[in-house]
Amino acid sequence: MNGMNGMNEDLQEVVSLIVKKSPSTAADALKVLRSSAPMIRLRAIAPAALSEGEWSDEERSLLMDAISSPPDSGMRSKVVTLRLTETEYADLVAAAEESTTSISDYIRVALGL
């Protein structure tokens, strides 16, 4: 992805491709464009998108290149401690696993970061 403008164009191309190839993830793909952390959202939906529909090698490569790009928000250096009950933690772990993301990425997406 090239620069900020190039990134937006590439991101739009990838989202358009997901909408076309993976109807079940289309709504989530469109949210990527409005997100303050689009790469986190894109990484969260990519596995489901790739498992649906027929993807050419070129299309698959475009999506993989997009999710392999380094995060645009820089290095994360802050740690937040959160107290949860056993049930709350189990629910959080299950939700993160269901979305095929880490707990940290799941929380960032849920907060729109």
Instruction: For residue range 76-87, list pLDDT tens digits in order.
Output: 667 888 899 999
What are the two backbone dihedrals, phi and then psi, of residue 53, each rounded to the nearest 5 degrees?
Answer: 80, 175
Number of domains, the chain: 1
CA atoms of 8 and 90, how far apart (whole Å): 36
Q: What percent of the chain has pLDDT over 90?
A: 9
The CA radius of gyration of the chain, in Å to the nearest whole number, is 15
Question: How much is the pLDDT for 54?
Answer: 84
What digits encode the pLDDT tens for the residues 9-24?
A: 778 888 888 898 888 8
Domain range for residue 56? Answer: 3-111
Confirm if 9 and 29 have CB atoms less than 8 A apart.
no
At residue 3 the predicted structure's pLDDT band, cuts being 50, 70 and 90, is very low
SS3 (DSSP) at 89:
helix
